[in-house]
Amino acid sequence: APEGQWILMATGRSPTNIAVIKYWGKRDEALILPVNDSISVTLDPDHLSATTTVAVSPSFPSDRMWLNGKEISLSGGRFQSCLREIRKRACDFEDEKKEIRIKKEDWENLHVHIASYNNFPTAAGLASSAAGFACLVFTLGKLMNVKEDYGQLSSIARQGSGSACRSIYGGFVKWCMGKKDDGSDSMAVQLADEAHWNDLVIIIAVVSSKQKETSSTSGMQNSVETSPLLQYRAQTVVPSRVMKMEEAIKNRDFASFAKLTCADSNQFHATSNSVEYFYWQVAYTFDAGPNAVLISPNRKTATLLLKKLLYCFPPQDKDLSSYLVGDKSI
Ligand code: 2P0
């Protein structure tokens, strides 16, 4: 910053999440309100996460953002919604040394610079927007001394990208679709924390890092418009599946968890006419891209599976042990 000016910064990291009961279809495009509840597992941040630094200074003439080192436009409605909703809730701030004082009403006139990095392929169907918007909203909230609880923050992150509301929490998370037209009750809640089912191992087979051709936003729009199955799925199938999944998670019941996860992945893909595969020793789920997510009941099965996978798809430079780190992802 120029002489006599200051910069205030905050940095945060958010992992991505993998839905086991899928969000697919909106009832309100602008507010991002879904047609059904969804449930996901938030990964540990070592492998798939966004790291975002937000800075504010009187010397910044405008809001700007860089994604993976490249400047991107903030003019989109989703970024604007998140910035507006966080700014609206900003509170008085004073730093520890009492050198910087920002009044609640001053935040409106201060511009932000945002730098975000993903440690995994962006827009390849691995929920990069979930990690990205959760991280942006959470970190901006810290910077601007926002005092909202996690539920409220998740509701703001939802307006950046639907699945982002679930990445506000670790562990097992449910996005409650809500009933209200203004979206104020469409937010995420934590079902169980990350320590609850420690044995569960999630393996993500990245078969392509290329940016996918159809965005989730337009993919689900298409399903809403063309799939006769979608309404039936949202109104009749998912509500009971969500209840069963909550039970399976609570009881760490892998057989039910695997069956529901695979069935839901299949049905979600069936609304967009995709192909399905079965592999019952582990659970699998596919998001809106080509990369397979495999969920093993324990590290022993995960190791056997990894050996087979690595035999078929040998890595160029790593040994097996380097994949077996962290809690929930390999
Ligand atoms: C999910 N997916 O529940 C589902 C399953 C992909 C397949 O949420 O339009 O990027 O930004 O709300 O959140 C991906 O959709 O879509 C997604 P928008 P989003 O994880």
pLDDT at residue number 258: 96
Cβ count near 184 (within 10 Å): 11
Structure token digits, residue 11: 């940095």
| Each residue's pLDDT tens digit, 169-184 | 999 999 999 999 999 9
- ipTM > 0.90 (yes/no): yes
Probe residue for ligand 1, chosen from 17, 163, 274 as the CB with the greatest number of ligand atoms within 8 Å: 163
Probe residue for ligand 1, chosen from 81, 265, 287, 291 as the CB with the greatest number of ligand atoms within 8 Å: 287
Q: How far apart are CA 319 and CA 97, in angstroms?
A: 48
pLDDT at residue number 275: 36
pLDDT exceeding 90 applies to what percent of the chain? Answer: 65
pLDDT at residue number 218: 85
pLDDT at residue number 267: 93
Cβ of 163 less than 6 Å from ligand 1? yes
Contact between 99 and 1 (Cβ < 8 Å): no
Cβ of 89 less than 6 Å from ligand 1? no
Q: Which residues contact 255 (CB under 8 A, 6 or more apart)?
A: none
| Low pLDDT (below 70) residues in the chain | 1-4, 122-127, 207-213, 273-281, 317-330
Cβ count near 273 (within 10 Å): 11
pLDDT at residue number 206: 74
pLDDT at residue number 289: 78
